[in-house]
Amino acid sequence: MTLMRKTAAVLLTAFCLIGPPASAQSALPGFGSDEGSPVGAPFSLPAGLEIAGPLVGADDDGNCPRPYTEDVGSGLWVRACLPVRNRTGGPVSVTFPPGLVIVAAAEGFQNGLLVERVVLTVPPTGSGPGRLRDREEAPDTVYLPLHFYCINSAKSGSTPGTDYRIGPVTSPGALAEVFRLMEGKDIRGDGERVEVVQEVIYDTIRQGVLTQENREALEAL
């Protein structure tokens, strides 16, 4: 993990814990101060892929056990590792849509939100042609690092081993425009731009509208 990335993570730690004013409220289930479960369309992996274990928080640097794919998303405070198996014998493409939520199992931890569309390739696992490594044991696992954004400012970010579950694909009002403005942008590893997006998400959840100032901030990324 680079010094820039560590510094950005520290800054975002403070930002996520402070967040918007305590008076801010949210009418979106699972967002802001709302304690409900996020609602939306179910998300599932494509045929040939299966979840191979629990979804838990990444380590303090945001890393998952090896082997792992590229990061899914650019967030720096809600980061978890999704273990999957690919039994097809070949690579499988997976599309993670903006609006996908991961839901914390414990009340004191934040839910996470993906704001970019991410397409990645999952290599084949286990025995057979193209496998990750030569072994005769049960199928191997590859980890997908999910790097999502804070949506519950009063709660803690992920910690190593924090339990999550895959939630729905949401389209929560004004945040849908945030998703549109993030199309085609890849800001992974850029702490300053990630912080801009995090601020916009908090403001939009709090106010229920994407302001012109925040719209211009996203357009400038």
Give residue-wise pLDDT tens across range 173-208.
899 999 999 999 999 999 999 999 999 999 999 999
Q: Is 46 helix (H, G, I), strand (E, B) or coil?
A: coil
CA-based nearest residue to 9, from 165, 159, 209, 138: 159
What distance, in Å, lies between the first and last C-alpha atoms of the chain?
A: 23
pLDDT exceeds 80 at position 139 = no
Tell me which DSSP letter residue 98 carries: T
Return d(Cα 34, Cα 170) in angstroms, integer: 15
What secondary structure does DSSP assign to 116-168, as a single string?
Answer: S-EEEEEPP-SSSTT-SS--SSSPP-EEEEEEEEE--TTSB---TT-EEEEEE
Question: pTM here?
Answer: 0.85
Q: Is 66 helix (H, G, I), strand (E, B) or coil?
A: coil
Percent of the chain clearing pLDDT 90 (strictly above): 76
Q: ∠ CA 95-207-173 to the nearest 5 degrees?
A: 35
The rounded mean pLDDT for the chain is 86
Give residue-wise pLDDT tens across range 82-137.
999 998 989 999 999 999 999 999 989 999 999 999 999 999 987 555 554 544 44
Give residue-wise pLDDT tens across range 3-17.
444 444 444 444 454
For residue 153, give both structure tokens: 């400012």
At residue 1 the predicted structure's pLDDT band, cuts being 50, 70 and 90, is: very low
**What's the pLDDT score for residue 162?**
95
| Cβ atoms within 10 Å, residue 102 | 24
